[in-house]
A and B are shown apart, each in its own frame.
Chain A
């Protein structure tokens, strides 16, 4: 399934499915992007990052795709598990050279059913 993270939408998937969470970022000069996972009552947890000179990066069960032409970022989670249920945020670095300033998207809630 797919979702666009604009107003904290919810993406519901079955355990074992692949999930795709999308994010539209605002600043064409942003040079660094991060995906975070936030579980209830916890702080955002780093998942994966990507620099603007790349268009794809893979981690364990997760892949981030960057399309700078349309300012779009996506997070793919393979074989989604109930423990993946959380709110997912994308963030872009809009800071000037040498100073990191992250601007976060509005988040997407992922619900994984057993």
Chain B
């Protein structure tokens, strides 16, 4: 049973389109995250939500809009996709926001912009 699951696994689309990535965790965690991993494998936090409330927004362009309908789900909607958005996007969750709670990651969504 997958703990953190993301859909779709692959997403190929054209510049200017709008797309969404979904994430669900069945761990009963309170906190969820979105990360972006570039072609050099550099992994950077984008957003963090705790109990459906935004707590971290790392100066991500406002074309990216996370939405948390409940604490088990954190979706990422991206408007007007650009070439630079091509990357692997990872969702993660942790028990809560405390520092000693490890984050558990999904297997990523590879987004390719044509």
Q: Are B108 and A43 in contact, with the CB atoms below 8 A? A: yes
Contact of A43 among B31, B99, B107 (CB under 8 A): B107
Chain B interface (Cβ within 8 Å of chain A)? 4, 31, 40-45, 48, 55-56, 90, 92, 94, 97-108
Asked if A111 is at the interface (CB within 8 A of a chain B CB), the reply is no
Given A45-B105, A49-B100, the answer on whether A104 and B55 have CB atoms closer than 8 Å is: no
Report the minimal beta-carbon distance from A17 to chain B, rounded to whole angstroms: 24
Q: Are B102 and A106 in contact, with the CB atoms below 8 A? A: no
Asked if A34 is at the interface (CB within 8 A of a chain B CB), the reply is yes
Q: Are A32 and B90 in contact, with the CB atoms below 8 A? A: no
Q: Are B44 and A104 in contact, with the CB atoms below 8 A? A: yes
- Closest B residue to A47 by CB, please name it: B102
| Most B C-beta atoms less than 10 A away, residue of A38, A43, A103 | A43
Interface pairs (18), CB distance under 8 Å: A38-B41, A41-B107, A41-B108, A42-B108, A43-B4, A49-B102, A51-B100, A95-B56, A95-B97, A98-B97, A98-B98, A99-B97, A100-B94, A100-B98, A100-B103, A102-B103, A104-B42, A104-B43
Asked if A101 is at the interface (CB within 8 A of a chain B CB), the reply is yes
Contact of A99 among B56, B106, B108 (CB under 8 A): B56
Known: A31-B99, A95-B99. 8 other contacts (CB 8 A): A8-B40, A42-B108, A43-B107, A44-B43, A51-B100, A100-B31, A100-B97, A100-B103
Report the minimal beta-carbon distance from A40 to chain B, rounded to whole angstroms: 11
Asked if A21 is at the interface (CB within 8 A of a chain B CB), the reply is no
Chain A interface (Cβ within 8 Å of chain B)? 8, 31-32, 34, 36, 38, 41-46, 49, 51, 87, 89, 93, 95, 98-104, 106-107
Q: Are B44 and A32 in contact, with the CB atoms below 8 A? A: no
Cβ contacts under 8 Å, A87 to chain B: 41
Report the minimal beta-carbon distance from B26 to chain A, rounded to whole angstroms: 15
